[in-house]
Amino acid sequence: MPSRSVSPLSSVEMLRRLIAFPTVSRDSNLELIRFVRGILEPYGSEIRLTHDEAKRKANLFATLGPRGEPGIVLSGHTDVVPVEGQAWDTDPFAMAEKDGRLYGRGACDMKGFIACVLALIPEIMGRGLKTPLHLAFSYDEEVGCIGVGRLIADLRQAGIRPRSCIVGEPTEMRPVIAHKGKKSYRCTVRGLAGHSAYAPLGVNAVEYAAEAVAFLKQMARRHRDRGPYDRGFDIAHTTVHTGVIRGGSALNVIPHECAFDFEFRHLPGDDPDRLLSEFRDFVGTGLVRDRRLAVPACRHPDGGVRTGLDRAGAQAERVRDARSAHSLRGVPAPPRRSSLRKGVILITHHASCIANVRRKASCPFVVIVTTRERRARRIQPRST
Ligand SMILES: [Zn+2]
């Protein structure tokens, strides 16, 4: 067993060394991993590395002490957030000490924890471990906890099932024993465009999206009023929230598309998939009254995970195919031939629309009101 002198670095000195590796999430962390490995290997630790696809980053999972029984994990991430555009007084990757505080990128979140763990390894090993101690240091936490997924998959495959895990994220020295889960989605509603004067003939995607958002709000209120509750959380119930909505192009155009992003932040016991199916049921039955409406998918706005609502989408595709592509460009779809035979008033300022109607129509007359010029013209159909 190596003596204390193998790693004589104090936690402060260890932190200085760790901060000097500029492990911003977009960059490699391999130098830091090599450094950590060098500290742990003399103690006979078993080390597993899992890399990203480009082999530029790695998670490190080390086991110290006895093997073959469930151990305790000390876990931290090695990556840090960028420093560009921030007013640093000192080099962010050279630790500075001022008024009893240590400054540097990642000093707090969360190389400080990793430094303390590594500095204590000689003492921990000197006392003798009765239970395995695991160290799990991941990459790409700051950009969505991407790295640790591979680490966990590797442990599962290797049959390593630790007993518990302490994550050293900064919480001002207060233990945080649980965290809400989060699932986020993008819902895209597709309608049928047209001039707003023809509102009943189109399908207003913004209005249907608003109904869907209102349904989510109902779900949010139900959780607020009826729980379940866990008083350990600042907000004691599952929350449902819509944060972004985009749709429509002009007041006089029936909006063809509207997309909104929403999320569930759920209590540990609440099932987010059940919440999503409740929303899907509403969309599939309550919302899709108009067969020309398409709510094709709820996607994860970041990851592109498709979660369905495809049945409604398929219905609407058929409707869209049956209509002129015209209707998707923000002008009214030409009315059906049968109605043109009786004559029709068409409000448009698109020359192509007029030509299209004239070509297709064998009606006695078409009156065209141009919305720009605000005057009516009477156009004779071609003789057939
Ligand atoms: Zn962190």
Domain boundaries, the chain: 4-167, 181-327, 334-379
Neighbouring residues of 343: CB distance < 8 A, sequence distance ≥ 6: 363, 364, 365, 366, 367
Neighbouring residues of 216: CB distance < 8 A, sequence distance ≥ 6: 240, 241, 242, 262, 279
Verify cis geometry, omega within 30 degrees of 0, for the bond prior to 95. Answer: no
CA of residue 145 to ligand 1 center, whole Å:
10
Instruction: Say which residue, 132 or 358, is predicted with more confidence.
Output: 132
Cα angle 67, 70, 74; round to 5: 95
CA separation for the pair 54, 225 (Å, rounded): 48
- pLDDT band of residue 275 (cuts 50, 70, 90) is very high
Among residues 4, 78, 5, 67, which one has the least CA distance to residue 35?
78
CA of residue 244 to ligand 1 center, whole Å:
26
Q: Is the pLDDT of residue 292 over 80?
A: no
Q: Is the pLDDT of residue 339 over 70?
A: no
The DSSP annotation for 239-287 comes to EEEEEEEEE-S-TTEE-SEEEEEEEEEE-TTS-HHHHHHHHHHIIIIII
Give, as one character, the DSSP assignment of residue 105.
T
CA separation for the pair 29, 32 (Å, rounded): 6
> Is 79 a catalytic site residue?
yes
Catalytic option among 79, 140, 261, 270: 79
pLDDT digits (tens, 9 = 90+) for 148-183: 999 999 999 999 999 999 999 988 888 887 788 888
Average pLDDT of the residues of the chain: 78
CA of residue 142 to ligand 1 center, whole Å:
7
Query: What Cα–Cα distance (Å) separates residue 320 from each residue in 193, 202, 274, 339, 360?
Result: 10, 11, 31, 19, 19
3-state secondary structure of 103: strand
HSE toward the beta carbon, residue 198, CA cutoff 13 A: 23
- pLDDT band of residue 295 (cuts 50, 70, 90) is low
CATH 3.40.630.10 fits 4-167, yes or no: yes
HSE toward the beta carbon, residue 202, CA cutoff 13 A: 29
Q: What percent of the chain has pLDDT over 90?
A: 54
Q: Which CATH code is given to the segment(s) 181-327? A: 3.30.70.360
Task: Report the pLDDT value the prediction gives residue 301, as an integer from 0 to 100.
Answer: 54
Mean pLDDT over residues 114-125, rounded?
Answer: 95
Q: What percent of the chain has pLDDT over 70?
A: 73
Catalytic option among 13, 89, 141, 261: 141
Task: Tell me if 4-167 shares its fold with 181-327.
Answer: no
Phi and psi at residue 285, to the nearest 5°: -115, -55
CA separation for the pair 115, 113 (Å, rounded): 5
CA of residue 280 to ligand 1 center, whole Å:
34
Instruction: Say which residue, 340 or 200, is predicted with more confidence.
Output: 200
- The side-by-side arrangement of strands in the sheet containing 133-138 is 46-51, 58-64, 133-138, 72-77, 164-167
Task: Report the pLDDT value the prediction gives residue 192, as an integer from 0 to 100.
Answer: 85
229's tokens: 């509750």
Task: Report the pLDDT value the prediction gives residue 296, as an integer from 0 to 100.
Answer: 55
Task: Report the pLDDT value the prediction gives residue 369, as an integer from 0 to 100.
Answer: 36
Q: Count H helices and E strands in the chain, helices first.
A: 9, 16
CA of residue 157 to ligand 1 center, whole Å:
26
CA of residue 106 to ligand 1 center, whole Å:
8
- pLDDT band of residue 358 (cuts 50, 70, 90) is very low
Instruction: Say which residue, 121 or 297, is predicted with more confidence.
Output: 121
CA of residue 77 to ligand 1 center, whole Å:
7
Task: Report the pLDDT value the prediction gives residue 181, as an integer from 0 to 100.
Answer: 86
| Residues measured by CB to lie within 5 Å of ligand 1, the ion | 109-110, 169
Q: Is the pLDDT of residue 370 over 80?
A: no
CA of residue 32 to ligand 1 center, whole Å:
16
343's tokens: 């004559």
> Is 270 a catalytic site residue?
no
Beta carbons of 12 and 116 less than 8 angstroms apart: no
Q: Is the pLDDT of residue 145 over 90?
A: no
Residue type (1 letter), 68: G
CA of residue 209 to ligand 1 center, whole Å:
36
Mean pLDDT over residues 238-263, rounded?
Answer: 93
pLDDT digits (tens, 9 = 90+) for 40-91: 999 999 999 999 999 999 999 999 999 989 999 999 999 999 999 999 999 9
CA separation for the pair 146, 25 (Å, rounded): 10
Q: Which of 122-136, 150-164, 187-201, 291-305 has the lowest mean pLDDT?
A: 291-305
CA of residue 132 to ligand 1 center, whole Å:
25
Q: Is the pLDDT of residue 323 over 70?
A: no
